[in-house]
Structure 1
Amino acid sequence: MTDYLEIVRGDITDQAVDAIVNAANSSLLGGGGVDGAIHRRGGPAILEACRELRATVLPDGLPTGQAVATTGGELDARWVVHAVGPVWSSREDRTPLLQNAYRSSLRVARELGARTVAFPAISAGVYGWPMDDAARVAISTVRAVLSSGVGSVESVRFVLFSEEALSAFRTAAGE
């Protein structure tokens, strides 16, 4: 499969893709930033699905680096893939956890049969990951997964909220 990445500035909740990735917290019950925006725009069906996951298969929440899917609710996307990225630390290299958040999201998207996926900059908001490094990890990890040619995902769009993030992702992608 040919690597197909798109990098745009915009609102991830406006994306007409098969799956939107949510930079979730482990509770899956909503939060700020991208997480809060997806829950607000997607409506109560997303929160209801997250509560069901917590009541059944994820009683302790979703572990860092992992992903799980719910309905897209009122979003244009059919599914929301909730991924928990790590909080950045200057004392401990948590890069493998951030890489795994992207890999897990793409694995879940493939299991759903999603062909188009939109990602935010996981961990680069309130979790404090430096944007340039977050972009490098995101681009290299997604390219590695897509280049393996396994699964249904044909297109990944990084949807960034700020000019700083857009510039960091374009630089990381070599644009």
Structure 2
Amino acid sequence: MTVEVDKLAPARPGYFYPAFIASLALNLLFVGLFAAAAWHHYEKSLSANEPGLLAFVRQLPENRQDAVRNEITGARAAMKDLRADVRKSWIDANAMLTEEPFDKAKFVEALAKLRESENVFKTALNNALAETAASLSPEERKILQSWREKRRPNVLRSQGEPAKDGAKPE
């Protein structure tokens, strides 16, 4: 049995396949570089939005920012274990919801432990805020007060007042 080859099709030179592979590699290189640039831009934009009280520090005069930032990050480091305890208590209490048979007394006890660990953590947060405020000048405390007013929690909003994102509360 013989197979007829289309003799009319032009023969491709041998360097086409390596050229196609090189072109594909070059395209992937540019796509990778573009993705890396986008990723790093995203990372920088995240660092510009410092969480919590560190966002307030950017509103202070340049010569005070480092000292206040160091004080806040030191307080955060000191509260790391308290935050981990709150997280563990929450996970433990939440895991009890699917245990069979459900033990209401154990669940109430776990919620009480969660509430206690949250209270210890929030007390430490409040004490750190008070220490930071004590180290600020009167003008800097005014900046802190206006920053906190803008960030007030949703629990302090009246029923018809819109939330931070502009959505109507339920």
Larger helix proportion of the pair:
2
> TM class, shorter-chain normalised?
under 0.3
Looking at secondary structure, tell me which structure has more strand per residue. Answer: 1
TM-score by length of 1: 0.26
The alignment's TM-score, normalised by the length of structure 2, stands at 0.27
